[in-house]
């Protein structure tokens, strides 16, 4: 039994090493006051699948534990995230102000997401460029959307184009769509930089 457990740990370590180069560093998803644990779990699952470095959660109602190790042992979060919480770093904040201050201290720029025009600069998701900065992408509350405080402290607002009668997407769905586009751009940018470097030293035609 112990031998099988060690084999499982070893195979997980091999898998973790094999995907390391595809992880997107200096990229954080931020949920602002999410109401539903299901949506938190889905977002954790999304960011893990897409190779996003971290998830920050502004949670003034204490819906999730304060400590990541406690989160990893939380039965509900484990179930809702399909166990991705065990492999994805999640940090909780008491307020938007606290989260913004932490990001600013670490040198991150914030972009908010909304189906509506907000703030000074807006662009459609696929028209934005997300490759050259330490970036935190904010997603608002399921009913109220993103706060004015987050908008005022962001460099831009990302709009997801929608063409239905109802302009509404589930929070988990929104995080998946937005973070997929951003991680795709960042990985392609990283690959092009490596290719240019190899060409420069004569290792690639």
Average pLDDT over every residue of 155-170: 87
Locate the DSSP E strands across the chain. 24-32, 52-58, 89-93, 109-113, 122-124, 135-139, 156-159
| pTM recorded for the entire structure | 0.86
Quote the radius of gyration of the chain (alpha carbons, Å): 18
The CATH number of the structural domain formed by 23-200 is 3.40.1280.10
For residues 192 and 140, which has the higher predicted lDDT (pLDDT)? Answer: 140
Q: 150 and 100 in contact (C-beta within 8 Å)?
A: yes
- H or E element: which one contains 105? helix 96-105
Over residues 169-200, the pLDDT tens digits come to: 899 999 999 999 999 999 998 766 655 665 66
Average pLDDT over every residue of 9-38: 75
């Amino acid at each position: 039994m112990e031998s099988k457990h060690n084999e499982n740990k070893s195979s997980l370590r091999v898998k973790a090493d094999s995907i390391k180069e595809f992880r997107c560093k200096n990229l954080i998803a931020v949920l602002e006051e999410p109401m539903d644990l299901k949506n938190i779990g889905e977002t954790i699952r999304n960011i893990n699948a897409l190779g996003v470095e971290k998830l920050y959660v502004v949670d003034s109602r204490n819906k999730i534990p304060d400590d990541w190790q406690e989160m990893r042992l939380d039965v509900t979060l484990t179930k809702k995230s399909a166990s991705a919480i065990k492999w994805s770093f999640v940090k909780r904040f008491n307020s938007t102000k606290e989260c913004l201050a932490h990001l600013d201290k670490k040198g991150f720029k914030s972009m908010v997401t909304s189906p509506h025009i907000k703030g000074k600069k807006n662009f459609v998701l696929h028209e934005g460029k997300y490759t050259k900065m330490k970036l935190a992408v904010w997603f608002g509350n399921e009913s109220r959307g993103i706060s004015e405080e987050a908008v005022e402290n962001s460099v831009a607002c990302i709009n997801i184009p929608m063409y239905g009668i109802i302009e509404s997407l589930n929070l988990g769905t929104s995080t998946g769509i937005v973070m997929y586009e951003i991680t795709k751009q960042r990985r392609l940018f990283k690959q092009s930089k490596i290719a240019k470097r190899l060409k420069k030293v004569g290792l690639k035609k």
